[in-house]
Amino acid sequence: MNNESLESKVDNETTPPPHTPLGLGSAMFLVAASMIGAGVYTTSGFTLAALGSPAWVLAAWGTGGVIAICGAICYGALARELTESGGEYLFLSRKLHPIAGLMAGWVSLLAGFTGAIAFAATTFEAYLGWQDTMPKGSIATTVVVLAAILHTVGVRPGARVQDLVVILKFVLIAAFVVIAVVMRSSAPVDVPAKAVTNEAVPWTTFSLTFATQLMYISLSFSGFNAAVYIAGEVNNASRNVPRAMLWGTCLVTLCYLLLNAVFVLAAPSEAIVGQPDVATKAAEAIAGATFASFVRVVILVGLFTSVSAMIMSGPRVYAKMAEDGFLPGWFRFSGQITGKPPVAAIWTQAILGIIVIHVSNLERLLSYLGFTLSVSAALTASLLFWVRGKSGDRIRPLLYPITPIVFVGGTLLAATLSAVNSPVQAAVGWGTIAFGALLYPWYAWREEQRRKATSE
């Protein structure tokens, strides 16, 4: 089968929108909004129970941050070379092969955004606590619809509202940390050095436990690359997109470390060990029920911005796939009009997210997302080991080869542990990845028929 026509079509650079309405700030806030969801508020109780020490909990979050920062540096090097929207689909299509890009595109469609949107919206519903008064899934559905409406209005208006909400989120997080520190200083609590056990654990066993906890923590960093999905709409993308990812990831890592320091150091260990809702449990132990309610508001704001960010990012991937002929034409940007988002893609994304909300649960989604996204991200960053840029030289990120080795190694470790812990969900993840490969021959045949018809 002759695939030259389809491959050349994908290799050709398409004309980006003539106007780029988003700046560095909006791109950076998109990264922060994508990263800060429910994970940081729910993970550390289990991590403390597993690792036995607040210091090791903070070490695990710090390690996750280092891996994510390395990922931001790697993606930034690719984004300087390819400044269009599209993320993993764009990078793999242009630098490896269209079939790899198509596989990544279907991962984005079925897992990276659809599954993640459903997870964040469903968690929002769970934290709001109105399940007994409304049908299951109705609140989560409403959140998705509101986010879709916000980003249908226009690129710039939607981004501005999102920027303001993200700023509010950081203000609330800062307020939480300050209040917790003040309350901790005025009413110190006894936090034992070992929260769970003082028994010696073999180093090999502890290392595996640490790596397993790092797998769960890594999901909280998975939005570090959000800016690459909207690169075609960012001013001076080759400069601002890499900076947005690096600065946004560093900022979020700092927030995560401060939050976890409060969770595991300011509250009594017995109040949070093994708890699925560590943030509110810690807040209640520090300053009572009113402070816990305040923390619940902080979490809800973070979850809404997470849904909003993914509703904004995902459709840009589908618009790029439509430009390359892998999705129907109505997914494209509407005539590259200034400030006009890909409306059909946005609402398709919203509908898919709503469907998943009503057919899956949080545990299955978490395992599925962890494995599938890790494989796709590792493959993308591994491009840096062999691809060359437009100049003919190899694309070299900062601190090469340390940064790609750390990121690819860390994400593959997370994928492996996820597959061991949830083999069924890993199999579904492999099915998602393979789905794009199975579709590619049909696209190639269709393009070949179109080429022949044109030549005749």
Radius of gyration of the chain measured on its C-alpha atoms: 22
Q: What is the CATH T-level fold of the domain 4-455, as seen in this structure?
A: Amino acid/polyamine transporter I (1.20.1740)
Arithmetic mean of pLDDT over the chain: 83
Q: What is the pLDDT of residues 382-405, one digit of tens each?
A: 999 988 877 777 888 989 999 999
Q: In this model, does residue 2 exceed pLDDT 60?
A: no
| SS3 (DSSP) at 122 | helix
Residue 274 vs residue 70, higher pLDDT: 70
What is the model's pLDDT at position 18?
47
What is the model's pLDDT at position 248?
95
Model confidence at 1, in pLDDT bands (50, 70, 90)?
very low
Alpha carbon 382 to its chain centroid, in Å, reads: 18
Q: What is the pLDDT of residues 282-311, one digit of tens each?
A: 888 888 888 888 988 988 988 999 999 999
Mean pLDDT of 339-346: 83
Measured CA to CA, the distance from residue 216 to residue 226 in angstroms comes to: 19
Residue 18: DSSP 8-state: S
Q: What is the pLDDT of residues 197-239, one digit of tens each?
A: 445 667 888 888 898 888 889 888 988 999 999 998 899 999 9
Q: In this model, does residue 56 exceed pLDDT 90?
A: yes
Angle between helices 114-128 and 289-323 (to 10 degrees): 160
Residue 71 vs residue 13, higher pLDDT: 71
Which among 245, 219, 250 is positioned nearest to 230, based on CA atoms? 245
Model confidence at 7, in pLDDT bands (50, 70, 90)?
low
Measured CA to CA, the distance from residue 321 to residue 98 in angstroms comes to: 10
Distances (CA, A) of 106 to 320, 371, 411: 12, 15, 19
What is the model's pLDDT at position 80?
92
Model confidence at 15, in pLDDT bands (50, 70, 90)?
very low
Measured CA to CA, the distance from residue 265 to residue 184 in angstroms comes to: 9
What is the model's pLDDT at position 19?
55
* In the block, residue with structure tokens 């520190």: 181
Mean pLDDT of 101-124: 83
Q: What angle do CA 249, 215, 65 make, to 5 degrees?
A: 20
Mean pLDDT of 15-34: 78
Dihedral sign for Cα 68, 411, 13, 158, please: negative
Residue 185 vs residue 349, higher pLDDT: 349
Q: What is the pLDDT of residues 245-265, one digit of tens each?
A: 999 999 999 999 999 999 888
- How would you classify residue 449: left for phi > 0, otherwise alpha for psi between -120 and 50, otherwise beta? alpha
Model confidence at 419, in pLDDT bands (50, 70, 90)?
confident
